[in-house]
Structure 1
């Protein structure tokens, strides 16, 4: 179904979903041999069953990465069928990315959705399979590509700002943590790796332990790196009170470990970046922030799917 209008022409994700359905339909569905992939049942496992196993909360990160290593390796070696398989299994994370990018976009969303898919496909060719959270990094590649397309579309509409189009740009850049993190990177407040670390472990479901392993650091070093980056981010945003706390609340609405201390420290030394600092609260509150850059690939990308249960 089209993300904007169920009666509109099919989009790239509709085509991808139908193509994947063909792979798993019939008496001989495309399958992975579970005996070759750690964590799968020791038999031929159809791809739709593989997808269900990966989406289960009980699925360990090691199994997810083992499956994606096999899928990406086959896509690179054989293309075609296995590339379609990768796209089909990634739809549960790419469709929310596309919806997030275009939920308030008034123009044609097809180009932006296509950009998300293109970014994902390009990342298939060079994503590092030796590092954790493969799907998280593929998802972030799609987000970055879609965000570039969104910015270009909004910039093209800027000349008609008198008709109220420019306001759409401001709405988009401040409504979601990913946009806020990209804006902070553009302003030189945090690095891409720091933005990814915050996004992965605060808004995604990657544990700080797994993030530390992916960065090649000790747990404490990664924890301190995140705290320092969050303090600079809080200062940049000019947040106070519960607005600042909303940045680092988990899905239960409670601050995660170490968050409140770093935020309070940032508030004491805060200097507003302008006489009228943005009234920013990240998440569902929305904000008006400086325009985001054209992002580039980071070392570790935020994910929107459960890749591992948090343990920090």
Structure 2
């Protein structure tokens, strides 16, 4: 029997990454006369028969699929993965592949290097969460997806923070200090004590990645309004930090320049319109007019916050995970 190739099919000789291998392995499980299946009679909304896992996945991705059915199926998969491992762990990964590949595509789109390590960390985060995820809370797949995202995001940040390779004959150079990539802006703000890790993750997910605030709040067991207020306070601190730091930045750094321009625009708008119509929440602590002149960071205004630094903001609804995943 010939050895299995680690190359992609179709003549593409690039090596497979971990998600490619997971996809192919899952395909083997559901192919042939005896595919790995679930007893559909145990789950409302599934056919009354043994249902192959790829068909189960299609059912869960359908909009009409109730959340209770999705959670019941995922609780069953997680428990079998924990108790039996092997086949059922591969099955769980295969069932989650639409979400995991979407996360990988989103994170890799901002990384010019080899994304294999990022993909591997996404898969590692998902597998780690399989062993710890709370099955009594709703939206199990959403929380597994978020664990995978955080793991991949941390790997991406680590890769972006590394030095740029410089070899003879190439015109590459180190990144322009102190800003550069938007993720590094958040990482530097955390390192300098301006933001907490949670603040940076919140801004990165809901501003840069387009994750709805309601989903973030549900995953972190908080109210949507509390998350909006926390993000607003964090973004105001970040805006001050960027405004103060951009003055010393390299003038060729487009990210820093665009951030400074956005802050100036917000300040001019606040000066023109004053503070009429603004209501101060308890979180504002009765903010003074001087503080208010910086302008608020609206939870709904498309031009608000630091997202994109001058680019079009992402959709307010994440496209990473299909509605019924």
- Aligned counterpart in structure 1 of residue 294 of structure 2, from 261, 265, 269: 269
Q: TM-score, normalised by structure 2?
A: 0.61
- Aligned counterpart in structure 1 of residue 17 of structure 2, from 11, 17, 22: 11
Shift of the 138–216 alpha-carbon distance from structure 1 to 2, 3 Å rule, reads: closer
Give the Cα separation in 1 of the matches to 2:157 and 2:205: 23
8 Å contact 1:133–1:307 — kept in the other structure? no
CA shift for structure 1 position 18: 1.0
Instruction: Note the residue ranges of structure 1 that are not aligned, 5 or more in a row.
Output: 245-260, 272-278, 288-301
8 Å contact 1:32–1:47 — kept in the other structure? yes
Name the residue aligned to 1:285.
311
CA shift for structure 1 position 23: 1.0
Q: Deviations over 1:188-229 (max 9, x none)?
A: 666556666777778667683x76666556676666666666
Name the residue aligned to 2:182.
174
Name the residue aligned to 1:256.
none
Structural RMSD (CA): 4.6
Q: Deviations over 1:220-239 (max 9, x none)?
A: 66666666666666776777
8 Å contact 2:17–2:116 — kept in the other structure? yes
CA shift for structure 1 position 305: 1.0
For the residue of structure 2 that corresponds to 1:45, the secondary structure is: strand
Give the Cα separation in 1 of the matches to 2:205 and 2:31: 35
Indicate the structure (1 or 2) with the bigger Cα radius of gyration: 2
Greater RCO structure (CA 8 Å; 6+ sep): 1
Shift of the 140–185 alpha-carbon distance from structure 1 to 2, 3 Å rule, reads: farther
For the residue of structure 1 that corresponds to 2:308, the secondary structure is: coil
Instruction: Note the residue ranges of structure 2 that are not aligned, 5 or more in a row.
Output: 1-6, 244-258, 267-280, 284-288, 297-304
CA shift for structure 1 position 49: 0.8
* 2:46 is aligned with 1:40: yes
Q: TM-score, normalised by structure 1?
A: 0.63
8 Å contact 1:11–1:110 — kept in the other structure? yes
Name the residue aligned to 1:257.
none
For the residue of structure 2 that corresponds to 1:146, the secondary structure is: helix
8 Å contact 1:65–1:134 — kept in the other structure? yes
- Map 1:196-235 → 2, pairs under 5 A: 208=214
- Aligned counterpart in structure 1 of residue 135 of structure 2, from 126, 129, 132: 129
Q: Deviations over 1:47-93 (max 9, x none)?
A: 00111112122223222222211111110110011110111111111
